Structure 1
Amino acid sequence: MKKILLIILSFFCSAAFYAQKGKVKKGNKKYDKLAYIDATEEYLKAVENGADSPEVYQKLGNAYFYNNKMEDAVKWYSKLLNQDNDAVDPIYYYRLSQAHKYQGNYKDSDKWMLKFAEKSPSDSRSKLFKESRDYLTTIPNKSDEIQLTNAKFNSEKSDFGTFLYKDTIYFASNRKEGEKYKWNNQPFLDLYIVDSEKNDIISFDEKLNTKLHESSIVISPNGDYAFFTRNNIIGKKEHSDSDGVNRLQLYRVRKNEDGKWGKEELLKINSDDYSVAHPTINQDGTKIYFASDMPGTVGESDIYVAKLDEEGNLEEPQNLGSLVNTEGQESFPFINEKGDLFFASNGHIGLGGFDNYVIREFEHDDSFQETLYVDNLGKPINSSKDDFAYTEYLSSNRKGFLSSNRENGKGDDDIYSFKVPKCYQIIDGIVKDKKTDQIITGANVVLDNKNNVVSSPEAISNADGTVSFKVECGTTFKVVGAKEKYTPDETEIYIPRRKKENIVTLRLSLIPEGIVEDTIVFEDKDGNEQVVQVNPKDLKVGQDLKEIFKINPIYFDFDKSTIRKDSKVELKKIIKILNKYSNLKIDVQSHTDVRGSNTYNESLSKRRNKATIAYLVNEGGINPNRIVGEGYGETRIINKCKEGVKCNDTEHEENRRSEFIILESK
């Protein structure tokens, strides 16, 4: 009887072994074809029949991870890693960490992230984590400034990737029933337009939407052409890489003479062996950014940039490097009107899944030498789920959009709209005695710029000598400090869109007792101070400011009316005088040398006069009502260089000038 029972038990064990082996084999076939939903069914049956291998746990975890079923991913990745198998790729420690974070389990996420960092210390994600262990306290929460609205045109399926062009919204969706994508058993994506006039959703272009995926469209600033993402298909023929994977490709389509979209073109940068996707074009149409895993990619996908000509042709793509790209996924780039670069990443430190990040002033002329850095956009833009495809349009009523599969949405991925808040920063100032370095209280500090974007432009220095101003970003301000019995001081500061400490120090000089003259401090061409003392009684009608304040002449080049660099230094002194003596009104008188006809010289002097006054008004903010002016041609020569007299250019230059005569001083 015992022998019979052993034979029966052996039979059932053998049957279970072959059953689980068959299910694993079937699961692998579906897995290799990226049919992850179907693959999980076979693997689960194999587990029921006793399968207990790292391969099954790993692929089950991956199949759920790739479809954002993170609770199941945690279960199977945990089984894989709890086997203490040293042969397991460290990436699964990272994925388990991310799967926990996706569910908001930050404590468990950090535990597995530490293990990943131990096993892969050189990985950029490990380094970023070690540098930002307190990341939850540093990621901003702007929920009081930004209110997200679930877009009315969202469906019960997946909607994402918004692009706004001339108040028309373009996006991708799989709302149309049809053949299912084996990865997630959902329909393929098409491009759609929100018809604002009819309040309806229409297909972007029926002939451009194929049986496979289309998404992520961008239209050139001039409207002549567009780029969009599609699976690798030409006509009706699909193309795959050596593993049988149909990659994403970048297509270009141009407008016909009748204003309709023509036939799509496959760009030369594409390949059957890698993906190119999710394009964005900068404001002047000279650069295109996109995501790819082409050779040279650091991680699973990187952000690239290529120069773009007027015809929509691309030069050789350049990887944006380690500031942007990690060993994870960077995708969905967007560049706004200010040159800020936004992108989605699961490699930088975030709240979970994909987060949206920004590098402010990425395309800025970095003359002020501020360091570029990656900034997490924080809540509510980001959540523990996948948040991606951030776009903003500051000139279109500051409209913003993002895509997310966060809780309480209408479908799988939803599009959310919001109003982009304005960028503000703080200028912190302190007023000190120039000689003793002691703080000065009660000083009047004025903040000024020609666009008048300061809500409270004037402050009195506190007991600790400090002042503070809240100002808009992307602006240059002049900061002026003054107090009775002190010479004033002023400086300029540019406020970038990147967060930084904006500190200015004003140093006032105490005027010695017994001096009744006014003291004014200029800056020469080398940046050195020039202190001038003036008796206000000398500011009489008819006097030349140049003579009173010892200012160098305002000269012009031969046959030119543009303001020279050396003359700008002297004009800034005139501006300072007019700001100090607010009752002064002046007559700007401009002249030429004798070379050229009388008529031409009269016209040239008028242009010089106009340029001189324009500089005082536009650069100095001087009220134009305080200035009159006239061009006198060659009628007021001040040296021997009259007609018929031979002079060199230095002598002629003395006559190519502008003068500043006091019209009114009270």
Structure 2
Amino acid sequence: MKLIKNATVILFIIMANFIYAQNNKIEKGNENFDNYAFKPAIGIYTTIKSKGYPSTEIYRKMGDSYYFNGDLKEAALYYGKMVTKSESVEPEYYFRYSHSLKATDNYKEASKIMGKFIESKPNENRSILLKSKEDFMNAINKNSNRYTIKLLTDNSDAADYGAAFYNDKLVYSSSRDTGLMARKINKWDNKMFTDLYIANIEDNGQIKNSVKFSNKLNSKFYESSPVFSTDGKTVYFTSSNYLNNKRKGDLSGLTKLKIYRASLDESENWGLLEELPFNSDQYSVAHPTLSKDGLTLYFASDMPGSMGLSDIFKVSIYPDGSFGVPVNLGDKINTEGRETFPFISKDGILYFASDGIPGLGGLDVFATKMDQEGYFTVVQNVGKPINSTYDDFNFIINDISKNGYFSSNRQGGKGSDDLYFLNEIIPIDFMIRKDFMIFVKDYDTKAEITNAKVCLKNKDNSEEMDDQTDIEGKVVFKQLSPQQYTSVNVEKKGYLAVYQNINFEDNTIAIYLEKEKQTTKLGDDLGKILKLNEILFDTNQSKIRGDAGYELGKVVVAMNNDLNLKIDIRSHTDTRGSSISNLELSERRAQSTMNFLISKGITKDRLTAKGYGESKTIVDCIAEKCDESTHQLNRRSEFIIIK
């Protein structure tokens, strides 16, 4: 009995020591994890798991460790174990698990898991995007094969990424070991920090003769993703929070990223480094890119006001080199996930990487173009082969040569991240397209009109698309662009034709047709028959205004319906001004009206035009005694039927 008791005590002590050791390892693993030292954390967690101490927390942290190191296949394995063992799963892990599953080509399961994320977070921007883009794979396939790509032979077996054009060379970041000096190890991935390198670009897009870019800019910590001013004399780049041999951390001691600026001095050396004023020890600011005019800097950050893990921001650069207040680009671009590595081309196209917008998996490259008012519109996935089921990012392109580079950790590369050369063979179409529905109804009864001809026209009437209404009085035009068609012409026998401008802000419009109730005879005013609104001109002007063009479009439709119809255009003024100037003004307006109808396809032999000035007023009055409404009666256009 005593022997058994002693054996029991010994066994208890052994087990206690073993548990204590495992707890120490767990604490050490958690410490590494909390400090973003993911590679060491993975090693510790793997040891703990092999000793028979798996848990949902360890699976979650192993999944995160692999996820944030870009090893999505391993992340999928451990996220799967976590989901299987957990009674409740945080929605964010459904999202990461789904992304990771795509790297294993298991799209069916990825879709199922993403469905759970959407169900858990229905009002999140990512869920809204996913629900509104359920056919995103079709959109990706449509944009695919616009580029050719090839792996750069100068990639190392470490990380190579963060490229930028500099004159006729390429500057990029690399953690390759040159063996020239001691380098710090990045706890994130247990590899050396990156430095900036510069290389010559060959005709085939390959690079050669890579050397360190600048000892002034490179430190023993992290440098990446530079961008240069148009004249090449100023550089902005990402670096660790390390300046003047001093490294700073946030409240928990973690070192964040900052953007620094440097300029060439008179000796063509990079001068004093300065950090940008919106940097902070408490959040990261990284991956700068400059607008064509150099007056706007775009960057990625998790600063206050961010929607997700990192967002794209912009900030104004003033002529004296100072900066405005950073502005978040908003939910058209940013999500609750990661948006990072922005690049804006000279054509105003913003490329960036995101894992929050529906894509192929990991980070995908997306593009959006700035409109005339300075806003970014529709966001498009650039498709394969740029994007894969892995992390694809840091897209840059020369708008003239259509050559560029991007980075990826996909399989088949040489290191953890690799640089790829790209050539754009088909540009992305940024024209907004959507389905447009038109209902045609009877003006009096509001009943649907079937078999009405509906014709869309562009502003020059050189392009058109037509169809007939169905049993519901409806016609649907698929994937139209608001910029492509500007007016609609609707015709139906027994009804007056309608010609009007259309607004694509709404996907659906209703058009009401009036039945033909009047007979016409020579001398009738076609304008009254068509119930035209006043044909307006600006004061003392004869140029056709947009609203006048809308009314004259009805005359065009009527004359196209009756090819024997001929009209005499008569323009009248009120009695203000001299009779001579009024006569000249009315003549110009009459001729301008006729020229407009001719421009819309009405032949000149069917038209005559004359100005009558103030000679045929409806109300006989003296100018200073007439009110505006009386002047309005006299100031008119007539379309008299002469055949």
Which TM-score band applies after superposition, normalised by the shorter structure? 0.5 to 0.7
Rounded Cα–Cα distance in structure 2 between residues aligned with 1:548 and 1:32? 79
2:38 is aligned with 1:36: yes
Partner of 1:581: 559
Partner of 1:267: 276
Rounded Cα–Cα distance in structure 1 between residues aligned with 2:235 and 2:542? 41
Rounded Cα–Cα distance in structure 2 between residues aligned with 1:227 and 1:191? 15
Query: How much has 1:511 moved relative to structure 2?
Result: 2.1
2:218 is aligned with 1:210: yes
Rounded Cα–Cα distance in structure 2 between residues aligned with 1:205 and 1:491? 64
Residues 215 and 228 in structure 1, CA contact (< 8 A), matched pair in contact too: yes
2:306 is aligned with 1:297: yes
What pairs up with 1:625-664 in 2 under 5 angstroms?
none
Residues 251 and 267 in structure 1, CA contact (< 8 A), matched pair in contact too: yes
Query: How much has 1:507 moved relative to structure 2?
Result: 3.8
2:73 is aligned with 1:66: no
2:175 is aligned with 1:188: no
Partner of 1:104: 105
2:474 is aligned with 1:473: no
What pairs up with 1:503-518 in 2 under 5 angstroms?
503-512=508-517, 516-517=519-520
Tell me the alpha carbon deviations over residues 220-246 of structure 1, each in whole angstroms, 9 at most, x when there is no partner. Answer: 8x9997754343344655443344433
Rounded Cα–Cα distance in structure 2 between residues aligned with 1:458 and 1:114? 40
What pairs up with 1:4-23 in 2 under 5 angstroms?
none
Partner of 1:642: none
Instruction: Sort the Cα spacing of 1:661 and 1:397 in 2 relative to 1 into closer, same or farther, 3 A.
Output: farther
Query: How much has 1:292 moved relative to structure 2?
Result: 1.5
1:62 alignment partner, SS class:
helix
Query: How much has 1:85 moved relative to structure 2?
Result: 9.1
Rounded Cα–Cα distance in structure 2 between residues aligned with 1:194 and 1:453? 49
2:138 is aligned with 1:140: yes
Query: How much has 1:293 moved relative to structure 2?
Result: 1.4
Rounded Cα–Cα distance in structure 1 between residues aligned with 2:614 and 2:264? 61
Query: How much has 1:247 moved relative to structure 2?
Result: 2.0
What pairs up with 1:263-342 in 2 under 5 angstroms?
265-279=274-288, 289-306=298-315, 313-319=322-328, 325-333=334-342
Instruction: Sort the Cα spacing of 1:502 and 1:110 in 2 relative to 1 into closer, same or farther, 3 A.
Output: closer
1:140 alignment partner, SS class:
helix
2:238 is aligned with 1:232: no
Query: How much has 1:42 moved relative to structure 2?
Result: 4.7
Residues 218 and 279 in structure 1, CA contact (< 8 A), matched pair in contact too: no
Instruction: Sort the Cα spacing of 1:180 and 1:649 in 2 relative to 1 into closer, same or farther, 3 A.
Output: farther
Rounded Cα–Cα distance in structure 1 between residues aligned with 2:341 and 2:275? 20
Instruction: Sort the Cα spacing of 1:593 and 1:213 in 2 relative to 1 into closer, same or farther, 3 A.
Output: farther
2:486 alignment partner, SS class:
strand
Instruction: Sort the Cα spacing of 1:356 and 1:389 in 2 relative to 1 into closer, same or farther, 3 A.
Output: same
Question: Which ranges of structure 2 fall in alignment gaps of 5 or more residues?
Answer: 618-622
Residues 42 and 62 in structure 2, CA contact (< 8 A), matched pair in contact too: yes
1:37 alignment partner, SS class:
helix
1:214 alignment partner, SS class:
strand
Residues 590 and 609 in structure 1, CA contact (< 8 A), matched pair in contact too: no
Rounded Cα–Cα distance in structure 1 between residues aligned with 2:594 and 2:295? 32
Instruction: Sort the Cα spacing of 1:573 and 1:95 in 2 relative to 1 into closer, same or farther, 3 A.
Output: closer
Identical counterparts, % of pairs: 28
Partner of 2:152: 154
RMSD value over aligned CA atoms?
6.3
AA aligned to 1:217 is V
1:486 alignment partner, SS class:
coil
Instruction: Sort the Cα spacing of 1:280 and 1:195 in 2 relative to 1 into closer, same or farther, 3 A.
Output: same
1:63 alignment partner, SS class:
helix
Residues 426 and 468 in structure 1, CA contact (< 8 A), matched pair in contact too: yes
2:551 alignment partner, SS class:
helix
Instruction: Sort the Cα spacing of 1:636 and 1:122 in 2 relative to 1 into closer, same or farther, 3 A.
Output: closer
Residues 341 and 362 in structure 1, CA contact (< 8 A), matched pair in contact too: no
Rounded Cα–Cα distance in structure 2 between residues aligned with 1:313 and 1:620? 56
Partner of 2:174: 174
2:286 alignment partner, SS class:
strand
So what's the TM-score if we normalise by structure 2? 0.68
Question: Which ranges of structure 1 fall in alignment gaps of 5 or more residues?
Answer: 367-371, 518-534, 640-644
Query: How much has 1:302 moved relative to structure 2?
Result: 3.0
Rounded Cα–Cα distance in structure 2 between residues aligned with 1:594 and 1:130? 60
Tell me the alpha carbon deviations over residues 488-541 of structure 1, each in whole angstroms, 9 at most, x when there is no partner. Answer: 013333447xxxx844544433324xx542xxxxxxxxxxxxxxxxx4x449xx
Rounded Cα–Cα distance in structure 2 between residues aligned with 1:171 and 1:585? 70
Rounded Cα–Cα distance in structure 2 between residues aligned with 1:60 and 1:494? 53
Rounded Cα–Cα distance in structure 1 between residues aligned with 2:294 and 2:572? 42
Tell me the alpha carbon deviations over residues 82-105 of structure 1, each in whole angstroms, 9 at most, x when there is no partner. Answer: 77699x977556545543344234
